[in-house]
Amino acid sequence: HPLQTDLPRLKRGGIGGQFWSVWIPADVTGPRAVEMTLEQIDRVHRLVAAHPQRLALARTSTDARRIAASGRVASLIGVEGGHQIDGRLSILRQYKALGVAYLTLTHGRSLAWADSSTDAPIAGGLSPFGRAVVAEMNRIGMIVDVAHVSDATMAAVLDTSRAPVIASHSDARSLANAPRNIPDALLRRIGAGGGVVMVNCYPAFLSSEWRAWDAERTAYARSVGVVANIYGPRSPAPLIAWDASHPAPQVTPAMVADHIEHIARVAGHGTVGFGGDYDGINGTGPEGMAGVDGYPLVLAELVRRGWSDADLAALTSGNILRVMERVEAVAKSLSATPPGDSIDPLAR
């Protein structure tokens, strides 16, 4: 199946709300990154408009509840990288006006104002402009997303933000030692601030064994000159042969449940949600979870482990809706604050 997210999969998975990710590669910067972001936001609007019986754009928590109750998928927008604002708070505000619910502060590369977990640091946490970005997001009611950022940047965001934050697609580093995953100390801080960590279904973030296997596979792919991060029957021929003789370690729905339970134990049941990153994980996923229709397998596993209906409701929707409500309340409290006019001095 070419896509991990489509309308039939959303229905089979019981999905009532979906963040559509607007992502531009981190090496695309400047005005072109803004243009490409606007083009993708337009695509989301067009997608929703083309399927009015199945989808509807949600700008608020009230919208999301109403749309889900109507049997449609509440469609929200996330911009996945601070490089996409081109160092300008005015662009951030325009994204909000177009319905963007959250901004991920970095993607895979560090910026002058915030550091990525997968690149050398530049800002050393948050620069003054980075703090201005967080403050403006609080003022306009845009959720701050700390997926992809470094530990130091995450700590600085938690020091700065007046509203809860999310990690839109991250797992527990204690269970799988990937830089994109979150250590327990920061899980606790996110939970203490009322935020949510949304568990990712990428096998490399769920399993250290799979991550080591993938590193070996990537090294082989480079040695024979083929693209590494394609999996399954669409892989280049040399990798299909390599995979046959090097079976991937098993990654199961139970391992997704392990990360959910770890985050709940460390930071509270109010701190966990789903953020599978489907269609951003190169066609991979836990066994039986090839797309968004696989989430019920995790819920069934949690039921077997004794999770209550209330805890499952919080996991699947209640926690992220609570964050949205709190972000909206903080913005209302800041409504008399004038807009920020900062421009990143290093944006050009």
pLDDT at 215: 97
**CA atoms of 224 and 242, how far apart (whole Å):** 11
The pLDDT tens digits of the residues spanning 95-143 come to: 999 999 999 999 999 999 999 999 999 999 999 999 999 999 999 999 9
- The pLDDT-based confidence of 343 (bands split at 50, 70, 90) is confident
pLDDT computed for residue 2 by the predictor = 78
Residue 219 has pLDDT above 60, yes or no: yes
> Binning pLDDT at 50, 70 and 90, where does residue 341 land?
confident
Report the pLDDT value the prediction gives residue 345, as an integer from 0 to 100.
73
- Nearest-angstrom CA–CA distance, 149 and 179: 9
Alpha helices for the chain (secondary structure H): 7-12, 30-50, 61-69, 89-97, 128-140, 151-160, 184-192, 203-206, 208-224, 237-245, 253-267, 295-304, 309-313, 319-333
- pLDDT the model gives residue 31: 97
Domain spans of the chain, in order of start: 14-162
pTM to 2 decimal places: 0.96
Q: Tell me what pLDDT residue 347 has.
A: 61
Confidence of residue 308 (pLDDT cuts 50, 70, 90): very high
Helix (H, G, I), strand (E, B) or coil at 274: strand
Domain 14-162 listed as CATH 1.10.287.130: no
Q: What is the mean pLDDT of the chain?
A: 97
pLDDT digits (tens, 9 = 90+) for 220-263: 999 999 999 889 888 999 999 999 999 999 999 999 999 999 99
Q: Which residue has the tokens 């997704």?
A: 256
